Amino acid sequence: MKIDYATEEDYEYIIERDRHIVKSLVMPKIINKEILILRNQGNKNVGWMRYGYFWDNTPFMNMLWIDEEYRNNGIGKEVVLYWEDSLKQKGFKLVMTSTLANEEVQHFYRKLGYVDSGCLLLEKEPLEIILIKTI
């Protein structure tokens, strides 16, 4: 698996799949190196990880996506650990993410050392669990 920062060539791949971001924000995130792209041995895109900053100072993983046929083989763990290490090298000591209470991915994050630290409840939405990890 190859993990790299997304480039302009990855734009179409991302916007075709990422339904949780305004399209006009994708290119600025690519330019700011806030999207990691995942490629298989054949250099085919198989997923991405997008992040930003909570309170403008704490890295917050907004989206981790692995294409269906590549799931459950360690790619998610690999990219999260890669992301954490790159942020640790930049001097960050804490990272965050969140997930809906009805999503199984919450167990994945806990296995990686993330701990529940709060929640957000929006009308007519499942509880959003906020998770943190000291790196």
Q: For residue range 4-39, what is the model confidence (pLDDT) as tens digits?
A: 999 999 999 999 999 999 999 999 999 999 999 999
User: What average pLDDT does the chain have?
Assistant: 96
Predicted TM-score (pTM) of the model is: 0.92
Q: What is the mean pLDDT of residues 50-65?
A: 97
**Which domains, and CATH codes, for the chain?**
2-134 (3.40.630.30)
Cβ pair 97, 89 in contact under 8 A: no
In angstroms and rounded to an integer, the radius of gyration of the C-alpha atoms of the chain is 15
Q: What is the mean pLDDT of residues 94-103?
A: 96
Tell me, what's the pLDDT at 116?
97
d(CA 92, CA 107): 24
Tell me, what's the pLDDT at 70?
93
Q: What is the band of 89 on the pLDDT scale with cuts at 50, 70, 90?
A: very high
Tell me, what's the pLDDT at 13?
95
Tell me, what's the pLDDT at 111?
97
